[in-house]
């Protein structure tokens, strides 16, 4: 199955990693530890290092781009992010950190939830999200 996304921050044409989906909005200040790459959400801790991180949208403070940059500097960043709504802070944090960022419709975000913890492929040039349904 293919999902077409809009590329906000371009990256490699082939990113392959585990999809981690967070059901609720993410606040990088307070929910994410940039030293460990742990995101505390929904009463559990999620390791976001090296994964494709998907969430509906970002909430929180203007410190978010710094936290995203700190994740990258500490080698704890996701390899790509997919969100159903992107604001300037999320886009700038990904841009300065060289983390590909894509946006999908709310319907496609809901579809991605079915594939959490699966390995998927993202083309961060064309915006294609490729999911092997096997």
* Active-site residue list: 61
Q: Kind of pairing, strands 52-55 and 15-21?
A: parallel
- Paired with 7 in beta bridges are 102
DSSP 26-91: B-HHHHEETTTTEEEETTEEEE-TTSEEEES-B-S-TTHHHHHHHHHHTT---SEEEESS--HHHH
Residues 6 or more apart in contact with residue 102 via CB below 8 angstroms: 5, 6, 7, 8, 80, 81, 82, 83, 122, 124, 127, 129
N residues, the chain: 134
């Amino acid at each position: 199955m293919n999902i077409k996304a809009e590329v906000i921050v371009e990256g490699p044409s082939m990113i392959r990693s585990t999809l981690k989906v967070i059901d609720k909005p993410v606040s990088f200040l307070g929910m994410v530890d940039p030293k460990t790459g742990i995101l505390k959400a929904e009463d559990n801790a999620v390791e976001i290092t090296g994964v494709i991180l998907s969430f509906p949208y970002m909430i929180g403070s203007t410190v978010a781009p710094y936290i995203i940059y700190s994740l990258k500097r500490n080698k704890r960043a996701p390899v790509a992010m997919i969100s159903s709504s992107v604001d300037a802070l999320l886009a700038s944090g990904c841009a300065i950190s060289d983390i590909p960022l894509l946006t999908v419709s709310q319907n496609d975000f809901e579809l991605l939830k079915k594939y959490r913890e699966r390995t998927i492929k993202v083309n961060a040039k064309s915006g294609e999200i490729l999911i092997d349904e096997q």
